[in-house]
Amino acid sequence: MILKRTAAVALGWLWCVALVCGTGEVAAEGGSATRLTSEAIQKALDAAVDKAREIHVPMGISIVDIHGNLVGFIKMDGTFAHTNHTSFSKAYTSASVRRPTHEMKIPPAITGEIASVTGGKFTVLPGGFPLVIKGSVVGGIGVGGGNAEEDMAVAKAGAEALRKGLRTED
């Protein structure tokens, strides 16, 4: 009975998150859909890797599309084994709620429930940022391998590379 109630509460919160976040369709100026392209994915990965090298911390870097599907990943030499999981979860969460993972305002009990029903994909660990092109969230970037500040700096570098402008495909 408690398990059913807990699952119902978690699904209720997921529904609320979905309503707040929208359907996943993102429209750019002129009504055409904006999406992550291979060029955008590479640009974000390159900027993140450059920042990680600058601070001398090897990282695992994941990029997901607006639906949470992994579309880009790099694991730098010397990074921890778990970074493929943590970086993906951070990217997935930031794309899902369309904000950086360190800025979540969801109560801890609820984030635990959401993490449970998403198979551990949802996290509030710092290091996840939404990816924005032409003012629309098109995905997320997540980084793992350093401390919170290092992960956030590297993820932010990847996200900022897209915010500064990029040609997109319709």
- State the Cα–Cα distance between residues 155 and 144, nearest whole angstrom: 9
Question: Please, which residues bridge with residue 128 across strands?
Answer: 142
- Domain extents for the chain? 2-163
pLDDT in tens, 39-76: 999 999 999 999 999 999 999 999 999 999 999 999 99
pLDDT in tens, 72-119: 999 999 999 999 999 999 999 999 999 999 998 889 889 899 999 999
Give domain 2-163's CATH architecture.
2-Layer Sandwich (3.30)
